[in-house]
């Protein structure tokens, strides 16, 4: 399968390159960027000897002629125009931006700018691989989930679907490494100010909130709005969500771990941790795993769910390739069997 990447020089794009370079079935056909013609090694010297090819300008027609699958790792607001070009020509598209994840009205409310045309976003399948596998398989257009929603939804799915929780009790305290903010420069993501620091941002206003709520509602129509806080960690890669829910009835930690193990039994990238142990961010670095730990507190009747992912892998490029595998009827894990880098 010939794949092309648009928006290659962002961190999502460059992580796609790392994965696809080592993928047994996908062949990188061409890479594109608004930078136009330059060797990728000029932007990313770590590719010397590995990827001695040039970036090309974004010419959708040319790309369509060359590719079986196109990954869009473009900033918010760009995908709309590109997508229609490709779906008309029956080319599979996986969009890593947030542009196709919400209906138009919701999008505008939270992203504060116009959405793509509803005729496009309606065609997109939400690519939460573990939960929408059948729809992904039959789709030509994937709205690849955001990093925060991926960790949050994988954490909350089993208890939400099983109806075990007070539907208005969800609090998600999320922490992300700086690469999640992308490569564009800002004072908050400069080293001197992000290092030896922890910063909170977009409290209750993050554009990933409606994406989380929309999926939760599909699982359980009673779910109310969620409280969601995002923190900027002084690390490059990695994300943790600490989710809190009120249990309707008493359940021991052990029982809930059993539930999660059953639910995720057939899903190789989800690892449920044994009782009294919890995952750390570094334990999934560079890999496509989402590790989950649980603790039900009998004092408060509240369940604490800790999930960690590599925001550039399971939170972006890794899940995108997982979805591409599913769309192509390949093994879901193909080319994604990276062992976490530790320490």
Q: Which two tokens stand for residue 30?
A: 């061409």
Instruction: State the minimum distance, in angstroms, from the CB of residue 188 to a copy of itself.
Output: 9
Touching a copy of itself, residues 178-217 (CB under 8 A): 178-179, 181, 183, 185-187, 189-201, 203-204
Question: Per CB under 8 A, does 314 bind a copy of itself?
Answer: no
Number of neighbours of residue 194 by Cβ within 10 angstroms: 21
Question: Per CB under 8 A, does 251 bind a copy of itself?
Answer: no
Is 147 catalytic? The answer is: yes
Touching a copy of itself, residues 150-179 (CB under 8 A): 168, 171, 173, 175, 177-179
Number of residues that bind a copy of itself (CB under 8 A): 86
Coil, helix or strand at residue 147 = helix
Coil, helix or strand at residue 13 = helix
Q: Of the candidates 202, 199, 292, 204, which has an alpha carbon nearest to the alpha carbon of residue 243?
A: 292
Beta bridge partners of 244: 171, 304
Residue closer to a copy of itself (CB basis): 120 or 306: 306
Integer Cα distance of 36 and 31 in angstroms: 10
Q: Which two tokens stand for residue 240?
A: 């943790």
Catalytic-labelled residue, pool 147, 290, 298, 328? 147
Question: Per CB under 8 A, does 238 bind a copy of itself?
Answer: yes
Residue closer to a copy of itself (CB basis): 44 or 111: 44
Residue closer to a copy of itself (CB basis): 46 or 117: 46
Integer Cα distance of 21 and 17 in angstroms: 6
Touching a copy of itself, residues 24-83 (CB under 8 A): 44-50
Question: Per CB under 8 A, does 311 bind a copy of itself?
Answer: no
Residue closer to a copy of itself (CB basis): 76 or 190: 190
> In the chain, what is the greatest distance between 2 CA atoms, to the nearest angstrom?
62
The values of phi and psi at residue 257, to 5°, are -60, -40
Question: Per CB under 8 A, does 123 bind a copy of itself?
Answer: no
Q: Which residues does the annotation mark as catalytic?
A: 147
């Amino acid at each position: 399968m010939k794949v092309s990447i648009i928006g290659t020089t962002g961190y999502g794009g460059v992580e796609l390159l790392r994965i696809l370079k080592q993928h047994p079935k996908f062949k990188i056909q061409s890479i594109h960027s608004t930078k136009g013609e330059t060797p990728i090694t000029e932007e990313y010297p770590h590719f010397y000897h590995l990827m001695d090819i040039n970036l090309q300008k974004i010419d959708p027609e040319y790309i369509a002629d060359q590719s079986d699958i196109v990954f869009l790792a473009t900033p918010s607001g760009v995908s709309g125009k590109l997508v229609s070009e490709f779906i008309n020509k029956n080319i599979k598209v996986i969009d890593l931006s947030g542009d196709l994840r919400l209906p138009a009205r919701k999008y505008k409310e939270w992203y504060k700018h116009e959405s793509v045309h509803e005729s496009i976003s309606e065609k997109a399948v939400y690519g939460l691989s573990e939960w929408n596998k059948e729809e992904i398989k039959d789709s030509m257009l994937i709205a690849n989930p955001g990093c925060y929603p991926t960790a949050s939804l994988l954490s909350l799915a089993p208890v939400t679907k099983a109806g075990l929780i007070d539907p208005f009790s969800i609090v998600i305290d999320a922490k992300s490494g700086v690469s999640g903010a992308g490569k564009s420069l800002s004072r908050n993501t400069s080293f001197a100010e992000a290092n030896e620091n922890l910063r909170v941002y977009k409290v209750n206003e993050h554009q990933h909130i409606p994406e989380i709520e929309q999926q939760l509602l599909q699982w359980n129509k009673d779910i109310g709005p969620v409280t969601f806080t995002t923190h900027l960690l002084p690390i490059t890669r990695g994300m943790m969500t600490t989710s809190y829910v009120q249990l309707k009835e008493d359940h021991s930690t052990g029982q809930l771990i059993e539930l999660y193990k059953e639910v995720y039994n057939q899903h190789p990238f989800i690892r449920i941790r044994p009782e009294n142990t919890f995952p750390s961010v570094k334990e999934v670095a560079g890999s496509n795993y989402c590790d989950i730990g649980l603790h039900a507190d009998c004092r408060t009747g509240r369940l604490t769910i800790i999930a960690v992912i590599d925001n550039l892998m399971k939170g972006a490029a890794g899940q995108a390739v997982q979805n591409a595998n599913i769309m192509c009827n390949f093994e879901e894990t193909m080319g994604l069997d990276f062992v976490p880098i530790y320490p």
